[in-house]
Amino acid sequence: MMGNELIACEECDLLQLGAPPAAGNALRCQRCRAELRRGRSNGPEYALAFSCASAVLLVISNVFPIVGLSLNGHVVQTTLAGSVRMLYSHGSWPLALLVGLTTIVTPVLQTAAMLWLLLPLRFGRVPWRPAECFRLFQFARPWGMTEVLILGLLVALVKLAHIAKVVPGTALWSFIALMLLLAAAAATFDPHEVWARITAARGARAWQLPPIRVRRNAITASAYGLVLCEECGLLLKQPSGAVKHVCPRCKAPLHQRKPASLSRTWAYLVAAMVLYIPANVLPVMDTSSLFGTQKDTILSGVVYLWVSGSWPLAVLVFIASIVVPMLKILGIGYLALSTQLRWQWLPGQRTRIYRLIELIGRWSMLDIYVITMLVALVQFQALATIKAGPAAIAFGAVVVLTLLASMAFDPRLMWDALETERVHSD
């Protein structure tokens, strides 16, 4: 890519010119400070190397035991897939489905999609059906939560250490390395460079916008009749007519704004608010032992960690499992309400709140992974067993619904009210 490029910000729709940034630097929006481009040196090559290593570690992580528990000569070991099967066998199939998708399926899809795209490009060939594969990668990336799983394992190990001897498995160390490699692969995977190489391998010309004429009071892409593809970032002229149009590059549906953004955001948010109450009131775990049955809520689990001396983990679980979901609900509600009422003040601050919600959203899954490990390992028949309580399913639903709410919300709508007022005032 040479010279200045016409770029539309994904968060405020500001149309601006920007030169390709140097390696290690970032190009940011002049209005909302969102990152537009990041300079990478040999990004696809690094992403391919990290993806190959991740593929090997994925096999190790899912085949070997992740952790074991030894009590009176009786050893219980489990793999990640075994933990998911244990949840399913206990009747918590929604929880098993959620854990399996976020820790096994999506990392595999993310790694496979990168290899599918990058391996042929390494040899100058065009990947088969690159558009569908690229959209699969974009779909899987936000749902892969390996780093949250690692933190959940550490919390579970602290709790298990008070019950029996903990034996770390091969997969535990493999998962730690996998977490780092997946993060590195996603950071070095540059969609713009990948599509540029696909275009070059096809022998086609790069997609060019037709010349646009400067308009009075028009500073956004939509004001110029341009639309930004939400999947691959291609900026192109908004097609005329009511027929459904797709991106010519990645075949994703094209929309000026996310369809029914506020309606879908409110629907997910209200459902999350309703389920947040049983998630914190009902028992999240049922423990049966020689001394009777004990039902623990999320808050009682935090208290247990605090009393046992693991106050850093207690604070961490409290923030991730209680504070973060509440802040997400309040934050998304604030953004949706202010946008619905077309408030015009502090759009930059509200955009930063949206970014923060996007950043912290996945960490609420921490308690779900802790419960998964405890259910899988504490199965000593008459001595002690742990089962997931009804609050675990409700809490998992809250996490998913708040993630869907933040994905459905379109931050460009916050800036549209400003544009309407500015045009009317001029």
Q: How far is CA 186 from the centre of its chain?
A: 12
> Which residues lie closer than 8 Å to 374 by C-beta, 6 or more apart?
156, 159, 160, 285, 386
> Which residues lie closer than 8 Å to 352 by C-beta, 6 or more apart?
none
Copy the structure tokens of residue 178.
Answer: 């996998």
Q: Where are the chain's structural domains?
A: 5-39+208-237, 43-180, 260-426
Q: Which residues of 142-170 are buried (b: 16+ CB within 10 A; e: fewer)?
A: ebbbbbbbbbbbbbbbbbbeebbebeebe
Per-residue pLDDT of the chain (426 residues; tens, 9 = 90+): 345 788 999 999 999 888 778 877 888 999 999 998 887 777 789 999 999 999 999 999 999 999 888 777 677 788 999 999 988 988 889 999 999 999 999 999 999 999 999 999 999 899 999 999 999 999 999 999 999 999 888 888 887 777 778 888 899 999 999 999 999 999 899 888 899 899 888 887 777 777 777 777 778 998 888 999 988 888 988 776 555 688 888 999 988 899 999 999 999 999 999 999 999 889 888 776 555 567 778 888 888 778 877 788 788 888 888 888 999 999 999 999 999 999 988 899 999 999 999 988 888 898 899 888 888 877 655 456 778 888 999 999 999 999 999 999 999 999 998 876 554 455
pTM here is: 0.90
Could you tell me where the beta strands, DSSP code E, fall in 104-261?
A: 165-168, 226-228, 235-237
Tally the C-alpha atoms within 13 A of residue 24's C-alpha that lie toward its C-beta: 0
Whether the CB-CB separation of 283 and 389 falls below 8 Å is answered with yes
CA angle 205/128/2 to nearest 5° reads: 25
Torsion sign across C-alpha atoms 286, 376, 175, 54: negative
Whether the CB-CB separation of 295 and 286 falls below 8 Å is answered with yes
Q: Considering the domain 260-426 in this protein, what is its CATH number?
A: 1.20.140
The string of DSSP letters for 185-221 reads HHHH--HHHHHHHHHHHHTPPPP-PPP----TT--BT
Would you call 78 helix, strand, or coil by DSSP?
Answer: strand
Would you call 132 helix, strand, or coil by DSSP?
Answer: helix
